[in-house]
Structure 1
Amino acid sequence: MTKLSVNINKIATLRNARGGNVPNLVEFTKNIERFGAQGITVHPRPDERHIRYADVFELKPVVTTEFNIEGNPVPKFIDLVLQVKPEQVTLVPDAEDAITSNAGWDTKKHKDFLKEVISEFNNNGIRTSIFLDPDAAQVEHAAATGTNRIELYTEDYATQYAAGNKEAVLKYAECSRAAAAAGLGVNAYYDLSLDNIKYFIEQVPEIQEVSIGHALITEALYFGLEATIEKYLNQLQS
C-alpha cells in the first residue's frame, strides 16, 4: 500500500494569518494521525511564512507515525534536521522567494553537494529523498548521491490529467521503474488530489509514499478532515 503523509503547511498558514494559535497545529497533527494518515510532512522556509522552525521542534514528540521534513539544505535547515532527527528528510531546491516548490534538482550539476549533505543525514540515521522532475537521466545521477529515495514532482501530471491527457503519467512510470531498478524508493508530491491520485498510483505502482497538503486541506473544507483522509486511504488501497 502507498502511504499517505499529510503536509500541514496550510494549517500553519491559516494560523499565521490571524496570529495566536488557532488552529492549533499540534492538535491538528494528532487528529490527522488518529484519522489514519501514516505520516506528517512539514516544509519550513527561511521566512517562516507557514511552518516555523519552532513548530518543528514542538511537533517532533507529538508525531507517532513518520515525520518528514522538506526543504532546501541550507545550513540552518541542515542544523534543524540534525537536531530533530525525523524519519525522513526530503531535499527540495527552493529559492528563498519561491511561493511553493516549482522544480526538482539537477542531480548531475549538484551531485557533489548532494552527496555531502546526504552522507551527513544518512550517518545520523535519517532516510533521505531527493525532489526530482520526471526525467530518467536525473534518476541515474540521483542514485549516485547515496540517497535512499526520490520524490517525483507531479505538477505536470496533475495539470495534464485535468486537461484529459492521461499519457502524461508515462514519464513518471518510466522514472519510477528506473529508480526501483537502481535500488531507490519512490515518493510523489505536488497537486495530487482525490481526482487524480488513484490513476497515478495504478500507473506508477512503485510509489511508496505520497505527500499531500494543499489539495487535502482544501477538500477537507467540503468533506471534513476525517472523511477526506478516509477517502485518500481508500484510493491508495484500491
Structure 2
Amino acid sequence: MDAELFPRARAEIAPGAVHLPDWLDPDAQRELLAACRDWARPPAGLRTVRTPGGGTMTARQVCLGWHWYPYAYARTVVDGDGAPVKTFPAWLGELGRRAVAEALGPRGRTPAPYEASGTPQSYAYDIALINFYDGDARMGMHRDSDEKSPAPVVSLSLGDTCVFRFGNTRTRARPYTDVELRSGDLFVFGGDSRLAYHGVPRVYPGTAPPALGLAGRLNVTLRVSGFPVTEPVV
C-alpha cells in the first residue's frame, strides 16, 4: 500500500519462517506476472486440481519442473491433458536462492541433521507450483511434504492481498499466526518450520495494485524436489 504511515517490517513468524514485505518491486512483479501468464497457457497449463476423494481445489494451478497432483509428483500432467510438465527456468531457481539468502541468512538456518543439505547458494530449486485464486478461492491447512529435500520453501505473492495462516508442525489447528500477504511479498519457511501446516483462509478481491493489471491473486511457490534426475514417473 502506498504512503503508509508505518512501512511494514520484516517479521520472523516462527523459527525459520520469515515474511519480507514488498520484496519484489513493481517492475519485478510485472515481469513475474508476464511469465505466469505464459506458463498458464496450454498444453500443461492452468488446471483445476481434483482430490482423491472427488473434490476440487478452489485455487487453480500450473506446475513447472515436476507436476504435482494429490499427493505425488510426475513428469507429465497425469491428472490433466497428459502433456509434459513445463520446464523450470534457471532464472527462477536463482530468484529462489536469493530469496532464501535474504530471508534466512547465508546458512539458510537449516538445523541438524540437515546441515549437509548445504547453503542457499547450493539449493537446486526445480519445482514451481503457481496457484491462482479468485475472490472465492481458499486453500485448506496442509503441509508441503511430498518432496525429499528439506530445503526451504519460497512463496511469492502477486495481485490481491490474502490472509496467509501459518501454523505448527503437529496439527492443522491452533496455534497459528495469520499474516497479511500483499503483492510483491516474500514468505520463506525452512528449518524447524519446513513442515508446518499453512493455508489461505481468505482473499481480499480488488486489492491488487492497479498498475499490475491482475484481478485475483497468484502465488508462486518454489521447492527443491530432492528427486534423482532419473526419478521414474509415479
Instruction: Answer yes or no: same fold by TM over 0.5.
Output: no
The normalised TM-score by structure 1 is 0.28
* Larger RCO of the pair (alpha carbons < 8 Å, separation 6+): 2
More helix by percentage = 1
The normalised TM-score by structure 2 is 0.28
